[in-house]
Amino acid sequence: AFFQGRGRAVITYTDEELQAVATPTLLIWGEDEAFFPVSHGERAAQLIPGARLEVIPGAGHLPFMEKPEVFCGLVEGFLGS
């Protein structure tokens, strides 16, 4: 069911669509992500101009819940830059 809903949107972005992103982008990935491996984040970060990828050790699919202090620190740092 996941891939029929929100998950499908994530896996159907084309390289061209990612390359067209024109806003500052922070990608936060859980090191232990079960649905989308870190390699997906690495690929997106390569394609999105100026994107920054941060991988949170010990976090899975919900890093904002699993490691909230680390997650919030990354977001605050990104917004402050």
26-30 and 52-56 strand pairing: parallel
> Which pLDDT score is estimated for 8?
57
Q: Report if pTM > 0.75.
A: yes
**Nearest-CA neighbor of 50 among 29, 81, 13?**
81
Beta carbons of 11 and 3 less than 8 angstroms apart:
yes
- What CATH number is associated with residue 71? 3.40.50.1820
What's the one-letter identity of residue 57?
P
Residues with Cβ within 8 Å of residue 48, at least 6 apart in sequence = 18, 19, 21, 25, 27
Per-chain mean pLDDT for the chain: 89
SS3 25: coil
Query: How many structural domains are present in the chain?
Result: 1
For residue 29, what are the domain limits?
2-80
